Amino acid sequence: MTDHHIRYGIIGTGMMGIEHILNIAALDDTSVVAIADTDAHQRNLGLEAAPGATVYEDYRDLLADDSVDAVVIVTPNFTHIDVMTDVIASGKHVLCEKPLCTTTADCQQLIELGQGYNGVIWVGLEYRYMPAVGALIDEVRNGFVGDVKMVTIREHRFPFLVKVGDWNRFSRNTGGTLVEKTCHYFDLMNLIIGERPLQVYASGNQAVNHLDEVYDGQTSDILDNAYVIVDYPNNVRAMLDLCMFAEATKDQEEIAVVGAKGKLDARIPTSELHLGTRSGEGIPDIGNVETRPIVNDKIKHTGLHHGASYLEHVDFAEAIRAHRNAGGGSEGAAAVEALGTLVSLQDGMWSVAIGEAAHRSIEENRPVTLAEILN
């Protein structure tokens, strides 16, 4: 092994933990050398995916393993605050799966702990890396639509999957559907618009899914549908349309961005980008719309997210090597920042804050400002 090699430890070997192992295996000059999980069955599955890795029941023993350069946290949402606190104390590079935490307050605590950290801290908001979404973001940056005025994201999908111990059936464990599931989309809104949100108003409920599921005498309480409107500065707005009992659909996600010059529309899993230029004549002109198939030949492992997790890991590894080559410290942090790809603790916090504001808006039937959530 060379100094270029990165040795990973995976904390949590459920479905997404295995997915991260497979993505790392597809990278160049990397290896998974340790795994940790409290569940024996999941530890065995993790070892099947990463033969030869050292196996731990307690993740803190993995953090004490000097052979591990970087860790990936793939544990239940409510554990992230404690695991991340311990990882930051260890000094290792870390990628934490979304959501960063279940509450904005916990995210803010991690931001304080991470100030001046001598390592790479990355939040796993991999929807940025969906090939069609990445192409859309590039066109926004190139000025195709002009100044962004509206962003609309629709996800019509299948219900929540079964997790170990069914921890994801309760909002107290996940942060709620609009934190657990849709923080990805709120992150995209922030990224595409390039501003921080001002206000959120939302409507949603639990209409179809998990209504009869009872665990230890408690009925599942996770929302399965919602509309969320987010206001940004300069009269820019975004909307999320979420339905989790709509798997009978062709494209699970549509991300539309509109400005005075035109419209962009990314479709997943079709992986198409529709580019429409306004004719200026005030009438429909479908001839001004180009449909562009989006294929990223750099993807070596497609996995569960159309190659997005693989591309995320490529950038995470590049950031680790940039930090290492610069000698760490402030020079290492500057080298990582210069790459322009870091998904920061602040990004993770803002994506959670919008979801938390949306849940409060539903519960209290009123608009909620982000200032209320951030205090």
For residues 83 and 153, membership in a common domain is answered with no
- Compute φ and ψ for 159, nearest 5 degrees: -65, 170
Residue 111 lies in a domain: yes
- pLDDT per position as a tens digit, 8-32: 999 999 999 999 999 999 999 999 9
- Give the sign of the dihedral formed by CA 276, CA 132, CA 75, CA 191: negative
Least confident among 9-18, 159-168, 183-192:
159-168
Question: Buried (b) or exposed (e) across 266-290, using 16+ Cβ within 10 A?
Answer: bbbebbbbbbbebeeeeeeeeeeee
Residue 185 lies in a domain: yes
The number of domains in the chain is 2
For residues 337 and 367, membership in a common domain is answered with no
- pLDDT per position as a tens digit, 53-85: 999 999 999 999 999 999 999 999 999 999 999
With contact defined as beta carbons under 8 Å apart, do 237 and 153 qualify?
Answer: no
With contact defined as beta carbons under 8 Å apart, do 9 and 68 qualify?
Answer: yes
Residue 323 lies in a domain: yes
Mean pLDDT of the chain: 96
Task: Taking each helix axis as running N to C, give the angle between helix 131-141 and helix 308-325, from 0 to 180 degrees, rounded to the nearest 10.
Answer: 60
For residues 270 and 333, membership in a common domain is answered with no
For residues 91 and 221, membership in a common domain is answered with no
Instruction: Collapse the DSSP code of 199 into the 3-class scheme (helix H, G, I; strand E, B; otherwise coil) and give the result.
Output: strand
Q: Which pLDDT score is estimated for 280?
A: 76
For residues 315 and 177, membership in a common domain is answered with no
pLDDT at 1 over 70: no
With contact defined as beta carbons under 8 Å apart, do 298 and 131 qualify?
Answer: no
Determine how many CB atoms are found less than 10 A away from the CB of residue 291. 12
Residue 1 lies in a domain: no
Residue 214 lies in a domain: yes
Torsion of CA 90, 57, 12, 5, to 10 degrees: 50
Q: Which pLDDT score is estimated for 303?
A: 94
Tokens representing residue 198 in the block: 């001002």
How confident is residue 140, by pLDDT bands cut at 50, 70 and 90? very high
For residues 59 and 136, membership in a common domain is answered with no
For residues 167 and 289, membership in a common domain is answered with yes
Question: How many CA atoms within 13 Å lie on the side-chain side of 229?
Answer: 9
Residue 335 lies in a domain: yes
pTM over 0.75: yes
CATH number, position 243: 3.30.360.10
For residues 138 and 109, membership in a common domain is answered with no
For residues 132 and 229, membership in a common domain is answered with yes
For residues 253 and 110, membership in a common domain is answered with no
How confident is residue 288, by pLDDT bands cut at 50, 70 and 90? confident
Percent of the chain with pLDDT over 70: 99
- Give one DSSP letter per residue of 262-299, joined into a string: EEEEEEETTTEEEEEE--SSSS--GGGEEEEE---TT-
For residues 122 and 29, membership in a common domain is answered with yes
Residue 252 lies in a domain: yes
Range of the domain at 283: 128-300+353-374
For residues 255 and 310, membership in a common domain is answered with no
What is the spatial distance between Cα 189 and Cα 120, in angstroms, rounded to a whole number? 24
Residue that wins the pLDDT comparison between 4 and 197 = 197
Determine how many CB atoms are found less than 10 A away from the CB of residue 336. 24
- pLDDT per position as a tens digit, 313-341: 999 999 999 999 999 999 999 999 999 99
CATH number, position 104: 3.40.50.720
